Amino acid sequence: MNNTPTPHIGAQYGEIAETILMAGDPLRAKFIADHFLTDPVLFNEVRGMLGYTGTYNGKRVSVMGHGMGIPSIGIYSYELFNFYGVKTIIRVGSAGSCHPDLKLGDIVIAQGACTDSNYGAQFELPGTFAPIADFDLLRAAAAACEKRKIHYMVGNILSSDAFYSDNPHTDSWMKMGVLAVEMEASALYMNAARSGNRALVICTISDHILTGEEMTADARRTTFTNMMEVALSLI
């Protein structure tokens, strides 16, 4: 049964590569396509969620936005894994550091993703699922950071349902060793696990919960090139 195009992605089956980079901001996806891909072709602009397929060092790759939050990436990653034959999704996102050694512009590679979301309840598991990255992708990303002499950390992050929270409980998560906070990784890792595919989340620190420092929206879109190069090196 041909399920494409989907309600959220206007591409036909075969127009999206088996490996896709995804960013919350669709303009970051466009930036990657414009600056790193050869002959990028637009395959989606439904709801303004831009997606492109091109080549990088001769290898076919796609890049697309996924929007903000677990419900949004949950929809897009589900459709990509289950309807478009995508095998690998690498999220190239932003995160807020809650670790003193992770500064603005540093990279965090999400080995695992804690969450305050109820997204995993749909799987009706008799316990709590631990969403984790694909190890081969994680190991290769860490090696790429070291090769490029990029400051990075690997560990647990928090995928939060709330950007503005009355009770963020940051101290409690920090006590458990959580390095940074974002809003999508856990759902992506769950969908990858359920569909038997691979996923990795790489984030650039765009703001610091402990110091109050933050980057502008434009900087988040155009200055995360270290992370983009690391992700593309995994293709």
Closest Cα partner for 186 from 199, 174, 197, 173? 199
Report pLDDT for 221.
85
Q: Which of 34, 106, 207, 218 is catalytic?
A: 207
9 domain residue, yes or no:
no
How much is the pLDDT for 166? 93
**Does residue 149 sit within a domain?**
yes
* CATH number for 208: 3.40.50.1580
Q: List alpha helices for the chain, DSSP H.
A: 26-36, 70-83, 135-147, 170-175, 185-195, 217-222, 225-232
The answer to whether residue 12 sits within a structural domain is no
Residue 31, both tokens: 């930036």
Task: Determine, yes or no, domain membership for 79.
Answer: yes
| Segment 58-83 mean pLDDT | 98
| Domains in the chain, number | 1
Average pLDDT (53-81) is 98
Whether 6 maps to a domain, the answer reads: no
The terminus-to-terminus CA distance of the chain in angstroms comes to 29
pLDDT tens digits for 171-230?
999 999 999 999 999 999 999 999 999 999 999 999 999 999 999 988 888 889 999 999
Q: What pLDDT score was predicted for residue 152?
A: 98
In this predicted structure, the answer to whether residue 9 has a pLDDT above a threshold of 80 is yes
Provide the CA 142 distance to its chain's centre, in angstroms. 16
The per-type count for the chain, helices as H runs and strands as E runs, is 7, 9
Residue 20 has pLDDT above 50, yes or no: yes
Note the pLDDT of residue 1: 43
User: Quick check: is 207 catalytic?
Assistant: yes
In a domain, 113, yes or no: yes
> Is residue 92 in a domain?
yes
Q: Report the alpha-carbon distance of residue 2 to residue 4 in Å, rounded.
A: 6
Containing structural domain, residue 43: 19-232
Residue with tokens 């997606």: 51
Does residue 5 fall inside a structural domain? no
Give burial (CB, 10 Å; 0-12/13-18/19+) of 146: exposed
pLDDT (mean) for 69-87: 98
113: three-class secondary structure by DSSP: strand
Q: In this structure, are strands 88-97 and 180-182 parallel, antiparallel, or unpaired?
A: antiparallel
Rounded to the nearest 5 percent, the helix, strand and coil shares of the chain are 35, 30, 40
Tens digits of per-residue pLDDT, 120-165?
Answer: 999 999 999 999 999 999 999 999 999 999 999 999 999 999 999 9
Per residue in 93-125, pLDDT tens?
999 999 999 999 999 999 999 999 999 999 999
